Amino acid sequence: MATSPQSSPGLLRALGPWTATAIVAGTIIGSGVFKKPSSIAESVPGFDLIALVWVLGGVLSLLGALSLAEVSVLFPKAGGNYVFLREGFGRAAGFLWGWVEFWIIRSASLAALATIFVESLHDILREAYGVTSQADVLSFWDQRLVTVGVLVILALVNARGVRWGGGLQFFITLIKVGSLLAILLLPFLFWGKVTERPENPPGSLPAFTWAGLGTAFLGVLWAYHGWMNIAPVAGEVNQPQRNIPIAFLAGVGIVIFLYLGANLAYQLVLSQAEIKALQDTSTTTVAAFANRLLGPVGTLLASGAVMCSVFGALNGNLLVGPRLLYAMGEDGLAPRALSHVHARYRTPVQAIFVLTGWALLLVLGAAVVHQLELSPTKKPIFDFLTDYAMFGAVIFETLAVATIFVFRNKLPDADRPYRCWGYPVVPLLYFLLPACLIVNYFVNQRLEAAIGVVFIGLGALVYVLVFARSSENTT
């Protein structure tokens, strides 16, 4: 039973530097490095451009981490970007971030990750039952039912306690890092298979376009998304002034190395035309890669690695996401019940279950869009959900990084145990790529952009009608 806000015992600072780093790395490494290479190969010609967008994604994340670490040290509280935007630009900005994070970014991320988890499980079942074609062992709606079950189970685990969720995150992150290191090494252990890689047939690669480059970068951005996920649980990190910067920089650095290594391994074993052809199937790039080197056993191992990786990212998002609703509930910008902390488990249980419930509805809604072919591009559910999630993320996460300029001006004498290296150049460089990406959205991802704009507009309307007057009274 949850306590009332008056008798709430508060959140528990139980996350050390290793677990904090695991939250950053573990919530970044999810489905993107295994699934997105096929959509990237479909968008740009040649490994040089593929490598470029992966490097740019890593550089962007690193620039953001260098900047946001300073802000997080100033405000080591539950809520992350919501707190930064509220303190930097006012309660309206904080509310809009929370609105978009709940309705678009976090919930769609959970729905997309759960979808790819079940697709990988289905690949394993096909191998187990000897189904070599794309025929289904589980029907389309059976897969959606399993997706729902996975989200519910993880919500219960995270409601049980932050130590449970954090410990599970650390263990799974170790497995994910080990899997990516294995991918990096396998081509060199089976070099004979590398020399047998087929050439790209003439005309099989896409022509270069700026729109294609933007679409490819969007896929990479999803793969790196989550680098700021330690900020929302800053209120549960031990010695936050020391451990938050460590988690940001170590977590992002580990992921950049692993992502570049994995993509080099894919390109050594599979031609770009082969990777591109996977876009129209449920097979992940890593499954095709492992099958080429190890046969059916490799497919099973790869699907298991994807399941484990996505499971860890799901757990990390359910550990992090509800803390935003908790902070908004405390401030009166969301129902007060969301700030309730369980007396025994010391977790925001109602916030956990509300976020999970909306993610479940998105899973079912995206399935209906897919079945009725309402998306003009007929994207797979996974790509539709990830592009939808990233629209809100690009806008508001960029604003969150911009708060570093606000706080340097408003709080010049504040204690800063960590200061952004290369300020102000580093945060200024961070803004360049997101600006280009927003333009690309309105040109090439119009449905996702339109849905995102509608939700943001609704959020502004709700704030004006419901919260603006109470916000004036608190100033």
Which residues does residue 342 pair with via DSSP β-bridges, in sequence order? 2
Mean local confidence (pLDDT), 274-288 = 84
Q: What is the pLDDT of residue 164?
A: 63
Percent of the chain residues topping a pLDDT of 90: 23
Cβ–Cβ < 8 Å for 28, 251:
yes
pLDDT digits (tens, 9 = 90+) for 58-77: 999 999 988 998 998 888 87
Mean local confidence (pLDDT), 241-261 = 89
Mean local confidence (pLDDT), 279-283 = 73
Closest by CA position to 442, among listed 396, 380, 401, 395: 395
pLDDT digits (tens, 9 = 90+) for 331-384: 889 888 898 888 887 888 899 999 999 999 988 887 787 677 655 555 666 666
The top-scoring range by mean pLDDT among 45-59, 115-129, 204-218, 295-309 is 45-59
pLDDT band at 444 (very low <50, low <70, confident <90, very high): confident
pLDDT digits (tens, 9 = 90+) for 160-171: 766 666 667 778
187 CB-contact burial (10 Å; exposed 0-12 / middle 13-18 / buried 19+): buried
Sign for the CA dihedral angle at 187, 189, 190, 191 comes to positive
Domains of the chain, first to last: 14-469 (1.20.1740.10)
Mean local confidence (pLDDT), 438-442 = 78
Mean pLDDT score of the chain: 83
Percent of the chain residues topping a pLDDT of 70: 89
pTM, entire model: 0.77
Question: Which of residues 58 and 130 earns the better pLDDT score?
Answer: 58
Average the pLDDT over each of 20-24, 148-152, 270-274, 441-445 and give the range with the smallest value: 441-445
Q: What is the pLDDT of residue 423?
A: 92
Is the pLDDT assigned to residue 219 strictly greater than 80? yes
Cβ–Cβ < 8 Å for 223, 27:
no
Q: What is the pLDDT of residue 352?
A: 92
Cβ–Cβ < 8 Å for 144, 385:
no
Distance in angstroms (rounded) separating the CA atoms of residues 96 and 92: 6
Is the pLDDT assigned to residue 4 strictly greater than 50? no
Is the pLDDT assigned to residue 88 strictly greater than 80? yes
Mean local confidence (pLDDT), 252-267 = 92
Question: Which of residues 11 and 83 earns the better pLDDT score?
Answer: 83
Question: Which of residues 449 and 147 earns the better pLDDT score?
Answer: 147
Mean local confidence (pLDDT), 247-261 = 91
Q: What is the pLDDT of residue 382?
A: 64
pLDDT band at 6 (very low <50, low <70, confident <90, very high): very low
Q: Which residue is associated with the tokens 């603006």?
A: 468
294 CB-contact burial (10 Å; exposed 0-12 / middle 13-18 / buried 19+): middle
Q: What is the pLDDT of residue 131?
A: 65
Distance in angstroms (rounded) separating the CA atoms of residues 407 and 444: 35
Average the pLDDT over each of 113-117, 175-179, 184-188, 410-414 and give the range with the smallest value: 113-117
Closest by CA position to 60, among listed 263, 233, 227, 246: 227
pLDDT digits (tens, 9 = 90+) for 317-336: 887 788 888 889 988 898 88
- Calculate the CA dihedral of residues 242, 243, 249, 254 and round it to 10 degrees: 150
Is the pLDDT assigned to residue 267 strictly greater than 80? yes
At a CB cut-off of 8 Å and minimum separation 6, what does 244 contact?
A: 20, 69, 72, 73, 76, 230, 231, 234, 237, 418
At a CB cut-off of 8 Å and minimum separation 6, what does 79 contact?
A: 232, 235, 323, 324, 326, 327, 328
Cβ–Cβ < 8 Å for 79, 106:
no
Average the pLDDT over each of 372-381, 410-419, 430-439 and give the range with the smallest value: 372-381
Tell me the residue type at 60. L
